[in-house]
Structure 1
Amino acid sequence: MTRDEKRVIAASSAGTIFEWYDFYLYGSLAAIIGAQFFTAFPEATRNVFALLAFAAGFIVRPFGALVFGSLGDLVGRKYTFLMTIMIMGVSTFIVGLLPGYASWGVAAPIILIVLRMLQGLALGGEYGGAAVYVAEHAPQNRRGYYTAFIQTTATLGLLLSLIVILLVQGYVNANYPMVAVLDLAGNPVLNPDGTERMIRAFDAWGWRIPFLCSIFLLGISLYIRLQMEESPAFKKMKAEGAQSKAPLREAFGTWKNGKIALIALLGLTAGQAVVWYSGQFYALFFIQNVIKVDSFTANVLVAWSLILGTGGFLFFGSLSDKIGRKPIILGGCVLAALTYFPVFKALTHTANPALYAAQQTQVIVTADPNDCSFQFNPTGTAKFTSSCDIAKAALSKLSVNSVTEDAAPGTPATVTIEGQVIASYDGSNLSGPELAAAQTAFDTQVNAALSAAGYPMTPGDNITVARANHFFDIFTVQKLTVVVILTYLILLVTMVYGPIAAMLVELFPTRIRYSGLSLPYHIGNGWFGGLLPATAFAISAQSGNIYAGLWYAIVVAVMTVVIGVIFVPNNTHKKNIFVD
């Protein structure tokens, strides 16, 4: 690798790491931010709605790909880079300053989602440009290896965000007192025993610091981007007058190029996306919210798996230069589909053995099928008040595995735990004190029955759950085993993601390359991947099985394998991308 090639990779990768850092801060802090901005919504839906706000940044990514992809093919790769980093950096900084729901009311979550969309637009233009820029500088027989450095940036950006969060969280919580929780009227919120509800300083205000730090990263990124030269392929195309005058129409308006984009989406990026997000973001969400490992420990364990597994991007990128991109990407999808269920079950068994043992207890929800809804609430306005929905929501929140049995029409739902039958209630005709009393009575009976069945209902009940006191507190059999399991998931990520940039670059000609690869990549990763955590959580809640959400990733991965085997071309790694 020459000095100039090293500078190209370093400049592209460093700026892209910072952009991913900005984008993933929200994902890492989704639960905390949800409590700050979505307090008007019921607590049971807060996690799902927070994840959907996270997904808002993904939904608009394909539109960013269209806008900035077209600009990149028209005016060049370098200047598009400068625009995307500015939008990303400024949007992230403003999130750190934005008042919460208690101060600004409904305007706060609306502005938050707008800022997330701006981040998504910026990222939609960033990735394609970085991949194209590096590939167009790389030797033909090393494109997989060179572009794999760009592939590491998403994981390194996530890792950087986790490390910054852990450092800030540890310092703030150790040096600042806990803060009282206030309701919308400014009055203290009380616990059931009459004491004031308190939260740690990081959850109250310290979470803003990593967002505010992005302004310094923005300055560094701008400096790096200004030192970059335009790619040789774009210079050559411009000198020859071979630029496309309408890259979007040329890339997607004809079947010749449009079918390539469709094959790239369904036969490559859709499966790559669900494996990527299952292995990193859904794994983090699953550890925290489903198997009840505290957020600090979860971040530590995931951070170590990222450190151990990130080298896989370079390994599989380099291997793809020798044996091809297609078998590695599709092989990763196959392994994911075959192993996700046993791997996530092993994660529960290792990280929270008391919860795993309790889940072997049979819990039955008996309900009229017409009384049960699919509890997916993307707008936060739907109300699930039937007796079946109330029962399933309560069990899902406690990570209880249950089965549903049909009851006669009109029969109120019941929950059976080790022979004890607990009647649910219909909340549609109740309000105020009556509703609160019914909810308290039901929750008290369910919690007591689950506790008797072995479920750890409070942190004090569960002394076997994985817990780290600091970043290097992982050297126990339990925590090392969790890190190994998570590292396996990261290695699957590196298989599908390491070679994907080179593969996509090789599918499209220079004149429409930026536009052509950006759209299928961001539809795959933005829609199929970005919506995975919220979709999987909702599926699990509805089915009564905490692992059922994995079917979403498995089905998409298998679809990609079938389409990829039939339609994706072989040996693209031997293609000269400077000859169109």
Structure 2
Amino acid sequence: MASESARPRQSERKVVLASSLGTVFEWYDFYLYGLLATIISAQFFSGVNETTGFIFALAAFAAGFAVRPFGALVFGRIGDLVGRKNTFLVTMALMGLSTFAVGLLPNYASMGVAAPVILVVLRLLQGLALGGEYGGAATYVAEHAPEGKRGFFTSFIQTTATLGLFAALLVVIGCRTMLGEEAFAAWGWRIPFLFSLLLLVVSLWIRLQLEESPVFAKMKAEGATSKAPLTEAFARWGNLRIVLIALFGAVAGQAVVWYTGQFYALFFLEKTLKVDGGTANVLIAIALLIATPAFVLFGWLSDKVGRKPIILAGCALAAVTYFPLFDALAKAANPALHAAQAAAPVTVLADPKSCSVQFDPIGRNTFDRTGCDVAKSLLAKAGVNYSNADAAYASVRVGSESIAWAGDAPAFRTAIEGALSRAGYPAKADPAAVNKPLVVAILTLLVLYVTMVYGPIAALLVELFPARIRYSSMSLPYHIGNGWFGGFLPTTAFAMVAATGNIYFGLWYPIAVCALTVVVGLILLPETAKRRLAD
């Protein structure tokens, strides 16, 4: 490792800058879809009811995460066999071209069911690419970093996901502002996807300036690279045990904190609290801008006090405070809705046998056959919090007012909407009533939790595994955690909300995963901050 320490500082800066910029652009590509989930739902899933369409749009968003572990296996193996640099050049090209293709894809009205099918395929290609990108970039930077500064150096890679999201937000906000909401929803949403082609060219040029990792180059020169990295990494219990500990004792909790703080919060603002998309994007962007430097702060701090205490503290804080924070977010972003929920709670009374889950994967259920279905469909679409009670005949109680089902779906909907309006339930958040400073403060705190768990995670994962199988070993738990535990969080949480009627019920998912990570991490996760990277 002495050769690394002797390398000029300018070379280290170049490695961090080039690796980080390339990864920022990949995250930009990947997260555009998440930012535009509501529009994607209308463009590609218009053949089903609105609630199901939004859940489907989130499921397509999650599809990219579902295949990330497979990308980690495929590209992780290639990275351990042939090198770090060439592998993430391939992943970058695959990501950029897939994103560009989304911008060209005809919608459901033009192509029918083929449109969402092709969309999902493109998301799967993006997921495969990202599955190979992160492990390569993190390993590459860590193998260049001086001893005692790996947390600090790799923390710049950790900022890339948030910076990529921030860049995507800026482009989306700019397009929305210049085109107007109507034009943006109709066709302007394609521009951010098409813009990715330019970013791809810049990214490839940047990455081509880099040389191979010195650790890998040394192993290759000595003939010490692994001949079967996947077998060594996952078929031998000694290493597989560390993979499982890393997954459940660190990455799973990190993942749900990440996606709750930066995506679920956005969807909650826009879909549940009815804040207009442009305002929600701006508020999230401000919070990201304020909190992003903390990635580097916590990465640096992890070099001093260790990776484990910072990551587990972030998970514990999230588990304890999510419910009060999201309640405060609702009160600040849509005070009229929050006040109405407190003053005039809504209850759906019906025979449980007459109630369907508000999810229709084939688009044939109009949710108008029973009073329970009509009521829940309307309330779910409106983002109204409601409880359930058993009764022989269907009715809806809004505060002290009761509306009985008489077999006429349109009349029942009209009556419920009238009762909600009289009780003070707003159709949308009043822009003038949004307490923007408080919303930004809450969102910033949620992102600070993200920086605690995410800032040190790359250094931790790199240090857990030997150099010859590092790319493969660290990539799989990272992408199972972030691809499955984190990537499916918005879909799972909103499905939980749709099933129960409680707009906060979806938070039980990240809270439970965080609690699991804290327990497993405290008992089994080793501290790695003082380890030397094996070469």
TM-score tier by shorter-chain length is: over 0.9
Contact 1:23 1:92 (8 Å CA) reproduced:
yes
RMSD: 1.6
| CA distance in structure 2 between the partners assigned to 1:373 and 1:507 by the alignment | 47
Q: In the TM superposition, what is the alpha-carbon distance from 1:372 to its structure 2 partner?
A: 3.3
* From 406, 414, 438, the counterpart of 1:444: 414
- Displacement of 1:172 after TM fit? 1.3
How far apart are 1:103 and its partner, in Å? 1.1
Q: State the match for 2:384 in structure 1.
A: 400
Q: CA deviation at 1:538?
A: 1.4
Distance 1:323 1:378 in 2: 49
The verdict on how the C-alpha distance between 1:390 and 1:335 changes in structure 2, with shifts beyond 3 A counting, is: same
Deviation digits for residues 195-239 of structure 1 (CA, Å, limit 9, x no counterpart): xxxx70110000101111111000000101111111011011111
Matched, 1:326 2:308: yes
Give yes or no for the alignment of 1:273 onto 2:255. Answer: yes
Count residues in correspondence: 526
Q: TM-score, normalised by structure 1?
A: 0.88
Kept after mapping to 2: 8 A contact 1:284/1:302: yes
Give the aligned residue type for 1:399: G
Are 1:364 and 2:342 counterparts?
Answer: no
> Alpha carbons of 1:532 and 1:377: their partners in 2 closer, same or farther (altered >3 Å)?
farther
Residue deviations 1:535-557 (CA, integer Å, cap 9, x gap): 11111222221111101010000
Q: Shift of the alpha carbon at 1:420?
A: 2.6
After superposition, the C-alpha distances for 1:479-526 in whole angstroms (9 at most, x for unaligned) are 111111110001000000000000000111111100001111001001
CA contact (8 A) 2:50 2:381 kept: no
Specify the alignment match of 2:398 in structure 1: 417
Q: Deviations over 1:452-479 (max 9, x none)?
A: 11111356xx46442xxxxxxxxxxx21
Q: Match for 2:414: what amino acid? A: T
CA distance in 1, matches of 2:381, 2:479: 32
- The one-letter code sitting in structure 2 at the alignment partner of 1:50 is A
Q: What's the CA shift for 1:405?
A: 1.3
Would you say the 8 A contact 1:540–1:549 is kept in 2? Answer: yes
User: Does 1:340 pair with 2:325?
Assistant: no
Supply the distance in 1 between the matched residues of 2:506 and 2:437 (Cα, whole angstroms): 26
Deviations 1:146-202 (A, max 9, x none): 0000000000000000000111111112xxxxxxxxxxxxxxxxxxxxxxxxx7011
Could you tell me which amino acid in structure 2 is paired with residue 567 of structure 1?
L
2:523 paired with 1:574 = no
Q: Which moved more, 1:34-43 or 1:291-300?
A: 34-43
The answer as to whether partners of 1:447 and 1:457 remain within 8 angstroms in 2 is no
Moved more, 478-487 or 297-306: 478-487
Give unmatched runs, 5+ long, in structure 2: 1-7
Query: What amino acid does structure 1 have at the position aligned with 2:453?
Result: V
Query: Who is 2:141 aligned against?
Result: 134
**Aligned CA distance change for structure 1 residues 7 and 417 (closer, same or farther; 3 Å):** same
Shift of 1:418: 2.5
Looking at structure 2, the residues matched to 577 and 379 of structure 1 have their Cα atoms a distance apart, in angstroms, of 52
Q: Distance in 1 between matches of 2:490 and 2:389?
A: 27
Pairing 1:313–2:283 present: no
Q: Is the 1:364–1:402 Cα contact (8 Å) retained in structure 2?
A: yes
Between 532-541 and 411-420, report the one with greater CA deviation. 411-420
**Residue number in structure 2 paired with 1:210:** 192
Which residue of 477, 482, 485 corresponds with 1:520? 477
Superposition pairs of residues 535-574 of structure 1, within 5 angstroms: 535-570=492-527, 572-574=528-530
Question: Mean Cα displacement is larger for which, 237-246 or 121-130?
Answer: 237-246
> For residues 29 and 90 of structure 1, do their structure 2 counterparts lie closer, same or farther at Cα, with a shift above 3 Å needed?
same
Following TM superposition, by how much is the alpha carbon of 1:392 offset from its aligned partner in structure 2, in angstroms?
Answer: 2.0
Matches within 5 A, 1:179-328: 200-328=182-310
TM-score calculated relative to the size of structure 2: 0.95
Aligned residue for 2:63, secondary structure, equals: helix
Say whether the 8 Å CA contact 2:51–2:380 is kept in structure 1. no
**1:365, distance to aligned residue in structure 2 (A):** 1.3
Cα displacement string for residues 13-43 of structure 1 (whole angstroms, at most 9, x for unaligned residues) = 0000000000011110111111111111112
CA distance in 1, matches of 2:293, 2:362: 39
Distance change >3 Å, CA 458–CA 341, structure 1 → 2: closer
* Letter in structure 1 aligned against 2:484: W
Unmatched 5+ stretches in structure 1: 174-198, 427-437, 467-477
Provide the C-alpha distance between the structure 2 equivalents of 1:425 and 1:49, rounded to a whole number of angstroms. 32
